[in-house]
């Protein structure tokens, strides 16, 4: 901690602030100003449409975190709107309990929405995309059936009157202002989450689940928090919707409406707040300005969706994101600065070695690793080499908890290292890179690197939601640390670029920066030199040596024999899942079987 905070402020101050989802702010203020100016038109009809837009946005703002950020296809969200609408109406009408004031009813609806948000979301923790989408639709059908059947409470098919807000919110314009204010708060809250480590983790789970796990992100816990938030917002939107409609029946909660919410996020674009906000505005207004089209709304949504998917897969957000247009400098070179490692890694207590004893793992009949022993010593580089398919990546996957070995044991010093549990590795300061870089293409390089520090986050979801000072301070520390890591690997100049615009070699260094965010005790590198030029390999070698000199034990899987023999302290050679030889580079270089089986003449 001190290493970063002690040296980083001047660097962080010099650097541009991390672009947040509300930057630039003016489009949001402009939209709000248009809404606030509606009474000047004197047109109550458009006042109602603007109110409806604000209410839909309250729901979509939360749904955006689920669909746009976490990539979970929740298409049946109208169910939560219905739950909120009925809860508020029933409680305000006093059908079951003594009547509650409208605001209290709205609050209870928010709580109910939080609970049902989790219920609707739970299948996402086990099911893949489309199956989850189907369960949300199923849930929407169940809710409609219950509202129809539970007549004494919901009024069945006849419906129930919506709640009335007290003055001054009981007029068209008063209610509009209330909804606009509420929508503005929801925008701020969801933007706070989006720009926090929770938001980055959501996107990481969507685009690079394995890297997210390796960074210590616990997907179920993360998704449940977001389901609670989105459910609460959707249900409160439902309460406002019932007020706007003045009377609700089960037919008000159609599949079309559910599609509208979902498509608003899709045409808005993933990982954006402004995009889905504009998407909501467009989808609310479109049927109004083309009244004859109203009957065609399902068709219209489907057509819009097709156009977006085919013509602009990034949605509105991609059109308005300046990072897409800015050109990256050509002929750029990666210039790692191992000196920056002092500030980043500092001097640390030297941990005990990581040992593997007799590890066995078979896939079907193939013994991918067959009794591997290995010891990675802190402060040293341990090379792991061998022909393709000899079990190197599998060994890394066992250490990082993706695979459970059938036999053998792992330990850090005297403490056993439990098999499985990939999310637990970051907490033990075991970081890794991947043979194929795992990137979050739509996020900036800086954000990709910040993911690596997720496990060190101390502030909670509620603090992030409200952007409390302690949370903002933590974010600044994350950012400063990520900039140091980028400086160390030589990518400081690309911090703000979108990761998917980087070259392959740059992505390899970016992954190392992400791993360095953990200040790892052990760093597992899977073929980091693949695809690099000779000069880049030399720099990579110096960087890896620098990292190990700061106390990290590096396990380096590589094919480039020169790099291995240049920088390793120890080398283990695998062949067909077995250790063929182990020793110093000098011993391995002249080892008869290694030379004949792997190194060649």
**Dihedral of CA 213/217/220/226: which sign?**
negative
Closest distance to ligand ADP from the beta carbon of 149 (Å): 48
341: number of CA atoms within 13 Å, CB side?
Answer: 25
Contacts of 127 (CB under 8 A, 6+ apart): 135
Alpha helices in 122-218 (DSSP H): 129-149, 151-154, 172-195, 197-207, 209-214
Q: Least separation, in Å, of the C-beta of 336 and Mg ion?
A: 24
Is 301 or 403 the residue whose CB approaches Mg ion more closely? 403
Q: Which of 327, 388 has the CB closer to ligand ADP?
A: 388
Q: By Cβ distance, which residue is nearest to Mg ion?
A: 393
Q: Minimum CB separation from ligand ADP for residue 365, in Å?
A: 10
Interaction of residue 374 with ligand ADP, rule CB under 6 A: no
Binding mask 389-428 for ligand ADP (x = CB under 6 A): xxxxxx----------------------------------
Least CB distance to ligand ADP at residue 400 (A): 13
Cα-Cα-Cα-Cα dihedral sign, residues 492, 495, 501, 505: positive
Which tokens go with 6?
A: 């002690």
Q: How far is the CB of 410 from ligand ADP (least distance, A)?
A: 16
534 contacts which partner out of ligand ADP, Mg ion, none, CB within 5 to 8 A by kind?
Answer: none
Asked if residue 363 binds ligand ADP (CB under 6 A), the reply is yes
Among ligand ADP, Mg ion, none, residue 368 binds (CB under 5-8 Å by kind):
ligand ADP
Closest CB to ligand ADP among residues 87, 395: 395
Q: Which one of ligand ADP, Mg ion, none interacts with residue 388, CB within 5 to 8 A by kind?
A: ligand ADP
Distances (CA, A) of 541 to 438, 548, 584: 21, 11, 17
Query: What SS3 state is found at 161?
Result: strand
Q: At what angle do helices 255-268 and 44-64 cross, to 10 degrees?
A: 70
Q: Which residue has the tokens 């992400």?
A: 514
Count of residues near ligand ADP by CB under 6 A: 11
Q: What is the DSSP string of 325-346?
A: TSPPPTT------TTHHHHHH-
Query: Minimum distance between the CB of residue 349 and ligand ADP, rounded to whole angstroms?
Result: 32
CB-side neighbour CA atoms (13 Å) of 263: 23
Q: Which does 7 bind (CB under 5 to 8 A by kind): Mg ion, ligand ADP, none?
A: none
Here the tokens at position 560 are 């480039």
Grouping H, G, I as helix, E, B as strand and the rest as coil, residue 412 is: strand
Contact between 583 and ligand ADP per CB under 6 A: no
Closest CA to 203 of 75, 312, 72, 324: 72
Q: Give whichever of 393 and 575 is closer to Mg ion, judged by the CB atom.
A: 393
- The one of ligand ADP, Mg ion, none whose footprint includes residue 306, by CB under 5 to 8 A per kind, is none
Q: Which is nearer to ligand ADP, 26 or 363 (CB)?
A: 363
Tokens, residue 533: 């030029």
| Least distance to ligand ADP, CB of residue 289, Å | 54
Strand partners, 523: 431, 554
User: Mask: binding to ligand ADP, 150-189, rule CB under 6 A, as x and -?
Assistant: ----------------------------------------
Nearer to ligand ADP, 383 or 391 (CB): 391
Could you give phi then psi for residue 334, rounded to 5 degrees? Answer: -90, 115
Q: In angstroms, give the least distance from the CB of 410 to Mg ion.
A: 19
Give which of ligand ADP, Mg ion, none residue 363 binds (C-beta under 5 to 8 Å, depending on kind): ligand ADP
For 65, 267, 442, 446, 455, the CA distances from 318, given in Å and listed in that order, are 17, 10, 9, 19, 30
- 512 by Cβ neighbours in 10 Å (0-12 / 13-18 / 19+) ranks as buried
- In what helix (H) or strand (E) does residue 306 lie, and over which residues does it extend? helix 297-311
- Give the separation between CA 441 and CA 207, rounded to whole angstroms: 8
Region of 278-286, 339-347, 351-359, 384-392 interacting with ligand ADP (CB under 6 A)? 384-392
> Whose Cβ is closer to Mg ion: residue 162's or residue 386's?
386
Interface ranges with Mg ion (CB under 5 A): 393, 435
Among residues 366, 542, 586, 590, the one that binds ligand ADP under rule CB under 6 A: 366
Q: Is 432 in the site for ligand ADP (CB under 6 A)?
A: no
Neighbours of 415 (CB within 10 A): 11
Closest distance to ligand ADP from the beta carbon of 210 (Å): 12
**Of these partners, ligand ADP, Mg ion, none, which one is at the site of residue 394 (CB under 5 to 8 Å by kind)?**
ligand ADP
Give the nearest distance from C-beta 393 to ligand ADP in angstroms: 3
Q: How far is the CB of 378 from ligand ADP (least distance, A)?
A: 24
Of 87 and 393, nearer to ligand ADP (C-beta) is 393
Q: With binding defined as CB under 6 A, does residue 388 bind ligand ADP?
A: yes
User: Order of strands across the sheet with 407-412?
Assistant: 366-376, 354-363, 407-412, 415-416
Handedness of CA 486, 487, 491, 496 (dihedral sign): positive
Which residues contact ligand ADP (rule: CB under 6 A)? 363, 366, 368, 386, 388-394
């Amino acid at each position: 901690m001190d290493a970063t905070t002690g040296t980083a402020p001047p660097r962080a101050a010099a650097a541009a602030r991390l672009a947040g989802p509300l930057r630039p702010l003016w489009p949001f203020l402009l939209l709000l100003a248009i809404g606030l100016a509606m009474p000047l038109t004197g047109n109550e009809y458009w006042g109602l449409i603007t109110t409806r837009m604000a209410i839909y946005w309250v729901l979509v703002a939360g749904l955006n975190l689920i669909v746009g950020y976490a990539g979970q296809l929740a298409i049946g969200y109208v169910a939560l709107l219905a739950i909120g609408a009925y809860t508020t109406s029933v409680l305000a009408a006093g059908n079951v309990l003594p009547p509650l004031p409208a605001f209290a009813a709205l609050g209870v609806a928010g709580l109910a929405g939080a609970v049902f948000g989790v219920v609707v979301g739970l299948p996402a923790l086990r099911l893949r995309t489309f199956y989850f989408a189907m369960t949300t639709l199923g849930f929407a059908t169940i809710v409609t059936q219950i509202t129809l059947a539970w007549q004494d409470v919901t009024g069945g098919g006849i419906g129930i009157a919506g709640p009335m807000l007290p003055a001054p919110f009981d007029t068209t314009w008063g209610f509009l202002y209330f909804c606009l204010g509420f929508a503005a708060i929801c925008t701020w809250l969801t933007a706070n989450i989006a720009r926090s480590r929770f938001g980055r983790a959501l996107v990481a789970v969507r685009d690079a689940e394995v890297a997210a796990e390796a960074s210590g992100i616990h997907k179920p816990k993360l998704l449940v928090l977001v389901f609670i938030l989105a459910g609460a917002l959707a249900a409160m939107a439902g309460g406002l919707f019932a007020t706007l409609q003045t009377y609700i029946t089960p037919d008000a909660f159609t599949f079309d409406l559910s599609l509208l919410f979902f498509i608003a996020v899709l045409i808005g674009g993933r990982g954006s707040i402004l995009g889905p906000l504009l998407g909501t505005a467009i989808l609310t207004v479109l049927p109004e300005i083309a009244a004859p089209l109203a009957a065609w709304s399902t068709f219209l949504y489907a057509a819009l969706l097709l156009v977006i998917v085919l013509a602009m897969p990034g949605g509105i957000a991609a059109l308005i994101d300046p990072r897409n247009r800015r050109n990256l400098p050509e002929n750029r070179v990666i210039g790692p600065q191992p000196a920056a490692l002092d500030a980043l890694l500092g001097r640390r207590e030297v941990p005990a070695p990581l040992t593997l004893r007799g590890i066995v793992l078979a896939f079907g009949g193939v013994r991918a690793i067959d009794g591997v022993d290995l010891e990675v010593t802190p402060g040293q580089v341990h090379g792991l080499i061998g022909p393709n398919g000899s079990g190197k990546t599998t060994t890394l996957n066992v250490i990082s908890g993706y695979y459970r070995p059938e036999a053998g044991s792992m330990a850090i010093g005297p403490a056993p290292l439990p098999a499985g549990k990939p999310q637990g590795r970051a907490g033990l300061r075991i970081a890794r890179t991947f043979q194929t870089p795992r990137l979050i293409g739509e996020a900036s390089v800086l954000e990709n690197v910040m993911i690596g520090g997720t496990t060190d986050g101390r502030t909670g979801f509620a603090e992030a939601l409200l952007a409390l000072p302690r949370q903002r301070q933590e974010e600044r520390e994350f950012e400063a640390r990520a900039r140091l890591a980028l400086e160390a690997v030589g990518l400081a100049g690309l911090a703000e670029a979108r990761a998917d615009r980087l070259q392959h070699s740059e992505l390899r260094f970016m992954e190392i920066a992400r791993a360095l965010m953990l200040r790892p005790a052990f760093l597992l590198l899977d073929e980091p030199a693949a695809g690099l030029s000779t000069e880049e390999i030399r720099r990579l070698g110096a960087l890896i040596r620098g990292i190990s000199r700061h106390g990290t034990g590096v396990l380096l899987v590589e094919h480039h024999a020169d790099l291995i023999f240049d920088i390793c302290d120890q080398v283990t050679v695998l062949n067909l899942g077995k250790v063929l030889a182990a020793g110093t580079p000098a011993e391995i270089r002249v080892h008869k079987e290694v030379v004949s089986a792997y190194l060649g003449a």
